[in-house]
Chain A
Amino acid sequence: MSEAKFSGLEPLNTIGNATARVDAVERVTGEAKYSRDIKLPGMLYGQVLRSPHPHARIRSIDITEASRLPGVRAIITSDNAQIVWGAGSISGGRQYNDPTKDATLHRRYIFNNPVRFVGDSVAAVAAVDRNTAEAALALIEVDYEELPFVLEPEAALADGAPAIWPEGNLCPDFRNNFEPMVSDIGDVEAGFAEADRVFEERYETGFIHNAQMEPRCALAYWQADKLTLYTPSQGISNCRHDTARDLGLEDHQVRIVCNYMGGGFGNKNQNQDADLVAATLSRVAAAPVMLEYSRRDDWLGVHGRWPTVQYYKIGAMNDGTVTAMQMRGYSGMGPYRKNSGGISGMDVYACPNRLRTIYPVYTNRTTSGNFRAPSEPHGFWGIESMMDDVAYKLGVDPVEFALKNMRRPTDDRPFTNYSLDEVITTGAEQFDWASRRRVTPGSDEGPLKRGSGFSFMMFRAGVGTSSAIVRVDSAQNYTLFVGVTDIGPGAKTTMGMIAAEELGVPLSQVEVVSGDTDRCPYSVGESGSRTTIQTGYAVVQAAKDLKQQIAAQGMPSGSEVLIASATPVPNTDGKTRQCFGAHFVEVEVDTRIGTTRILKYTTVHESGRIINPTTARDQIRGATIQGIGQALHEDLLYDPASGQPLTTGYYRARHLTHLDIPDIEVTFIEVDDGYGPFGAKTAGEAGIILAPAAVANAIANAIGKRMTSLPISRDKILGVLA
């Protein structure tokens, strides 16, 4: 068995000990009810009709025939259901909230006209069974006027490109200015002037669907004016608030329930249009409605990671010191700006002259949105491929290059703690970097060439707010109420372990109640690497409060209970808080047929104190594998002539199977920096950030050519070697 290694801290009573998930039994027996497993009496089935065109104006929708089909109970279209979906398009791509809802210029509705991508929703039907609903869709007659379309961000910004929105195709910022996102530090022109050498290159990355195993669905029903939604959500508090806002209701009129969900990796956080469509169908039909997405519905109708183009210019001295860094980037957002379009990675370097300009651009492809470390893997791949290239051209070992140029704490920008040196050197030693990397890339004889690459990072581990409630009864049974749903990392268990530790009781004495906005307080949502830090900290504070009450009043007796809650707003005293990581990869490339095999994969992470070693290990391994998939396989190809997507689904996108998976060595260096719950940081997104860069750098080391386009598929490798 591949054990993870831990060093630096000793386990506590509960925290730090390998712990089975508290709901693992339900998951292995089939008892766990996911959203689509739920049946309510009188439940109808819903289906969505989607645009077959990448860009078209709807002249008319005729639902007469469809309405007459026996068993059809409701049909909604843009003619009769103008429901805004605030989280579906946001000026500036920031977190959806009331100010952004009011400010957003380019509104997205549950049904849009014009339709702006193949798969854009046009209508929805509720019927007595699934087949009737599907048949009804086929009877809806839509008259489309096709419009010109554009698929690539640079083409979308060129003169004469079809305008997807009236102002053109550059997404507006949160102030509704049509400006790129700019970060301008120091003076890059001076930096380039000072440099011995200047390097330039263009990189591009593909669209990566979140591809979670559970397709989208939503079960809605109304009792008087209260809406209940059983929906797979990684942020029930967010979903409730978004849904209430979109439907013109108060928060307390919306209940979101999700006890089990099948992954999401960022596409199940806010509400989704499926929730609103189901709610509307249910209202019209006066019955519960289970809206089901097919896998293709999910692929086109939800979202994946934005494709990018990145132009880098780096200035450096001959000794490897970087004097200037410049990036001009383009993010293909689809026709709605659901999230930021960020391209991150440059800020892990200390270079005082850094200019980054990112254009988030509308295109007529499926929507882009958050996928596990939304701004990172593609950005880190771009900059760390570039820097790896610069290092080799200067004759410097990439590890030395990183240690020389990486950002470190300074007096005016201190960190809560800093482990990047140790993380990198530990990894290099464990991996045997000195022996495995080819000092001269591509130098192996014969068609099978080996090489090694590395990547490093620091990533946000900042603190923030959430809520927790904890209760104790006279039998000394504790109940913890937290608004998590456990998207896969084991949040219920992690929260339970934190409570148990703080309360000084075994985990078996703590019941975790989660997944229901009627019962659970606010949680930030399992996204952005925040739940352990933010909700976990709230758990600690609530437990402390409860202990104080117990100390003051004694344990409850009879029917009494003691209840404590906390909604702390912590800070890190002005210090930057980061987690740290480094990945080292050895590959073998078969240069005759373009196959890449991973021979060795070493990861080292400092993610603060690890709450549950087992689930933390599997977060690193799982995220890393997703990153390998991005590096080597996954993309969504469109036919340029028709704007039709060609490679939706697991087969077409070549998702990794059991036989594609390398062993992944995991080492955690543990540190308690005095912040967060017991010093915990985050491990959920860390692995995916590093994998594409490390794998790509290994390939470059093996074949002696830089791959500038993800995924690094065999046709591209054979292309550069031809």
Chain B
Amino acid sequence: MRKTKEEKILSALFIVPSIVLVLVFVYGFIAWTGWVSLTNWRDVFPDFTYVGLRNYIELFQNLRFQIDFKNILVFTVLFLFSCIVIGLFLAILLDRKIRFENVFRSLYLFPMAVSFIVTGVVWRWLLNPGTEATGPIGINMILEQIGLGFLKSRWYTDPNIGIKAVVIAAVWQMSGYVMAMYLAGIRGIPNELSEAAQVDGASIWQIYRYVVLPLLRPITLGAVIILTHISLKIFDLVVSMTGAGIGFSCDVPALFMYDTTFRGNFFAQGAGIATILLISIAILIIPYLRYSLKTGG
């Protein structure tokens, strides 16, 4: 739309405060963090001696960091996949004109209200496998009692599983929200489309597969952004549920960053971890943002 001068000024006034704040508190701080990661700050007393990329080289050789990086990738992929599949599945079910839909919907959604810290505490208990002496406890106990004992697992006490157990808690927390997104999306599809498909003789499943799912793609993309930004920064949940875990099998970069900065006083290394995280996110998200802005608009 062509704008008058007044309109230009007003629109600027509307967004300039946000832009300025983001520039300072996001990008300014990112720059500061990046700078610190190139220094020798290892003590509470700041030491800004420039050391180039030494901290990064040390980080990539650091066994804990290597494990963390792998963990966060595994976590993100599993978390995204599970939330989207479960969210979509539940949304499809709820769309089938269910009695007590409100009840089910609220039930699936409410975990979002709880803080990650509380979620972590409860799931730590639930997924505690117990031992020979105590027998199975938590979820393992329930599985055994309903005859699904073969599904028992050592969950997060098993170094091969580790962070994957944390995924369960995270999915519990966020899948309801994804379900709500999909449900709204499904409901938003004009009835004419599915009616037309039914007239053409399509079965329910075919309607879902060929009409509904493609139209939900934008929602999936939106869910990916929200879930990714939670997953890459995940901290509270891990701290309260498992800590770093046996052999760092549950450790994540945000936890390492916190530990090394505030417990070990190695501020430069903490800054390095933060910068690596941000660069990884940038590599993934920026191309996606540009693509979907161009096509979606």
**Are both chains from one complex?**
no
